[in-house]
Amino acid sequence: MATLTPDQVYKLAKTAESKFTIPTNTQVITVGTFDATKKTFSGKTTTVRREGLEPGDPRAKGGVRYVGDTLVRWHADGNTLITERIPSPIIDAVTPTLKYKFVNHVGKKILVKVNNSSFWLPTGKSELIIPLNHVEWIHWSIHLTSANSTPVVEDDLDIRYEHKYVAVGAFIIPAIPLILLYEPPCDRQRGSRASFSTTMAFSTAVGLEFSTESSRTKPVKPNGYKNTQTAKSTLNTLSSVMEKLPYLKDAAPFVKSLADGLGRIEAVETVGNIEAHETILTTTIKEGKTYYTGQNDGGPGVGDQIAYLEDIKMIWVAEDGELKLLTPIGWKFAQHSLNWIRKNEDIEVAQALLSIDPFSDAGANAQLPKDRFLQVEPPMDLSGMGANPGLSIILEHQVKSEDQTKSTSYKIHIEDYIPGWLSMFGLGVTQRETIKSTVTQSNSVKSTSERVDRATIDFSSDVDEGYKVELYYDRVYGTFACRSVN
């Protein structure tokens, strides 16, 4: 069976995406009204009935059933039958939004707790709107004065959903860095340069979360990452479920086609790659390759080189308000200086890439974050060497466990998505809004005893030229930076 390119599989995903009906993101449920003076609540409340039980009454075994928009459940307590009628609103949306109204509350501090999250009523307002994730059971309470006070009123809601909300799709993350190679300060001869190598494949751990520019809700994080074969299995299972549901049956064959496509996708072979490992993504630069800054292009913040992946195509699956998985299927490799990136990359991509380099804004004298950068050499005087290079240093760093706790992050907008679809995992996006991804990276290595990061830095200067530098190890990208101290 012929293989498919990542672009062909990506098209299958976009075709499948178009076969689903865009759902309503949220539906407002008016829970009721609280009178702060009388300390009473009217609205969707639970009623409890107690009655005597005759011997042999089958209801003593307990039970549950739905009657309209009410959950009825009963159980025996000795010779007493207790029947609860709990509000059970049915919604046709991915998530519920609760609305509470308040009267006679001027001058009072009112707090509503919903499933252990707290929401204060703003001063001067008489309504409180609380957006939630996809939940099926809600316990809420209203408090006066503080969150630790005894609830004035509390109750439950059983949320029922008219449909199972499932969708499959794809989008593009414009860029994810692989390594950041720092250029030494620029001398008159432009002879100072650096190279980087490692004893094994160099990896960074990548975390993603998504939000809208205007979103006040908690950012969405993927439930997991899957490689193509695992994603294929997930999609095959999903298509089987969809075939049994009338409102999803028509889209099922397209999900099946995408699953088949993932099983036939050809491997992406570049110098740098990205892989899915359940809880994280990892980017990897292959071992056995040395990276150079080349002819000095202007020093730190100008000639620094970034190797990165661009146009990373991601397949996603959402189910009942949760982003179930992300699978990377295709990308391209690029390596350029900051100077080139500023002039040639899309402005937003350039800003995202430049933001990981502290020299990009502050120049060669930038103050480096102490948690990320480890000083490895005291200030070095490089005055008047009169040779090219006048001094060549080899730096090595054995990766330690504490290096893996350091991270950096940047924000970048994703591309090629249908706005309404992102409501499937909690982002109610209109055509006027955009989705930004926060990308967090940290050093990743399976065994810290396995990897040594190594750099060679060549310094040059004229006989009448002088400058001093401090040398630092970048614990996120595994490279070495030269900071000018004069």
pLDDT band at 287; cut points 50, 70, 90: low
Q: What is the 3-state secondary structure (H, E, C) of 205-247?
A: EEEEEEEECCCCCCCECCCCECCHHHHHHHHHHHHHHHHCCCC
Residues linked to residue 457 through DSSP beta bridges, in sequence order: 194, 393
Tens-digit pLDDT profile for residues 152-182: 999 999 999 988 888 899 999 999 999 899 9
Question: What whole-number distance in Å separates Cα of residue 420 and Cα of residue 429?
Answer: 6
Quote the CA–CA distance of 461 and 484 in Å, as a whole number. Answer: 14
**Could you read off the pLDDT of 361-413 as tens digits, one per residue?**
998 899 999 999 999 888 888 776 666 666 778 887 887 777 777 888 888 88
pLDDT number for residue 450:
63
pLDDT at residue 391 in the model: 78
User: What gap in Å lies between CA 272 and CA 235, rounded to an integer?
Assistant: 27
| CA nearest neighbour of 122 among 98, 106, 143, 136 | 106
Instruction: Please give the structure tokens belonging to residue 44.
Output: 């969707």
Q: What is the DSSP string of 406-422?
A: -EEEEEEE-BS--GGGG
Is the pLDDT at 122 greater than 50? The verdict is yes
Does pLDDT of 447 surpass 50? no
Full-model pTM: 0.82
Angle among Cα 261, 265, 269 to the nearest 5 degrees reads 160
Mean pLDDT of 289-293: 75
| Of the candidates 52, 48, 94, the residue with the CA atom closest to the CA atom of residue 71 | 48
Of 446, 423, 443, nearest in space to 433 by CA: 423
Residue 160 DSSP code: E
Is pLDDT at 445 greater than 80 in this prediction? no
Is the pLDDT at 307 greater than 60? The verdict is yes
Q: Which of 96-100, 147-151, 166-170, 308-312 has the lowest mean pLDDT?
A: 147-151
Q: What is the pLDDT of residue 396?
A: 79
Domains of the chain (ranges; CATH) run: 6-21+166-484 (no CATH), 26-161 (2.60.40)
**Model pLDDT, residue 422:** 67
Query: In what helix (H) or strand (E) does residue 98 lie, and over which residues does it extend?
Result: strand 95-103
Q: Is the pLDDT of residue 260 over 70?
A: yes
Give the model confidence (pLDDT) of 191-206 as tens digits. Answer: 787 888 766 667 888 9
Using 50, 70 and 90 to split pLDDT, how confident is the model at 342?
very high
pLDDT in tens, 230-247: 999 999 999 999 999 998
Helix (H, G, I), strand (E, B) or coil at 223: coil
Share of the chain above pLDDT 70, in %: 91
Report the range of poorest mean pLDDT among 56-60, 78-82, 164-168, 216-220.
216-220
Please name the residue that has the structure tokens 């999609």.
235
Selected residue with higher pLDDT from 456 and 433 = 456
Token representation of residue 483: 């900071």
> What was the pLDDT predicted at 448?
46
**Confidence label for 418 from pLDDT (cuts 50, 70 and 90):** confident
Beta strands in 146-240 (DSSP E): 153-158, 160-161, 166-181, 193-198, 202-212
* Number of helices (H), then strands (E), in the chain: 6, 29
Mean of all residue pLDDT scores within the chain: 87
What letter would DSSP give residue 155? E
- Please state, in angstroms and rounded to a whole number, the distance separating the CA atoms of residues 368 and 306: 18
What is the per-residue pLDDT for 13?
A: 94
pLDDT of residue 12: 95
Query: Binning pLDDT at 50, 70 and 90, where does residue 218 land?
Result: low
Q: For residues 34 and 298, give the distance between their C-alpha atoms in angstroms, rounded to a whole number.
A: 66
- State the Cα–Cα distance between residues 202 and 204, nearest whole angstrom: 7
Cα gap 473→320, rounded to integer Å = 44
